[in-house]
Amino acid sequence: MPPELRDLLAKSICMNIRSFRKDGTPVDTPTWVVPIDGKYACCYTDDRTFKYKRMRNNPNVWIAASDVWGRCSTPFYPAKVRFPQEPERRNAVFDALRVKYGIHWKLSLWGSLLTGRVKHRVVLEFEIAHDAQPL
């Protein structure tokens, strides 16, 4: 991941993910973000969302730092998403999210526990090439 993008994502409240429908139509979605290992941008979602289904069908996405409304503060960068299943990797992402988002994370977790969504959480790990150029 380019260092300037890593630093901006670490400070940014959200990341805008541009995924693509089967017909190629782009769909932008802001999500929480934490950088992991200086190489990956990570977030989580519910495995029943269209966002997850689009990325499962086409793992090539574009990402940019943004606010909660999806207004980008950086240009988009090409990325490839993967869905880690290892418990220690998932826990590292959730721990980083807990530290970054504090009370917001606790409220989100509480709501997910009450509605049974916790069992549907999927971690998304975005890899951006170190020499990636903005689009």
Res 117: pLDDT: 80
Question: Locate tokens 């400070």: which residue?
Answer: 11
C-beta of residue 82 within 8 angstroms of C-beta of residue 127: yes
Among the CATH numbers 2.30.110.10, 2.60.40.2550, 3.90.226.10, 1.10.3720.10, which is that of 3-127? 2.30.110.10
Model confidence pLDDT, tens digit, residues 29-53: 999 999 998 889 999 999 999 999 9
For the entire predicted model, the pTM comes to 0.86
Least Cα distance to 105 among 6, 32, 9 occurs for 32
Name the residue ranges covered by the structural domains of the chain: 3-127
Res 111: pLDDT: 84
Contacts of 97 (CB under 8 A, 6+ apart): 32, 34, 43, 44, 105
pLDDT along the chain (135 residues), means of 10: 84 93 95 90 92 95 93 93 94 93 87 84 90 80
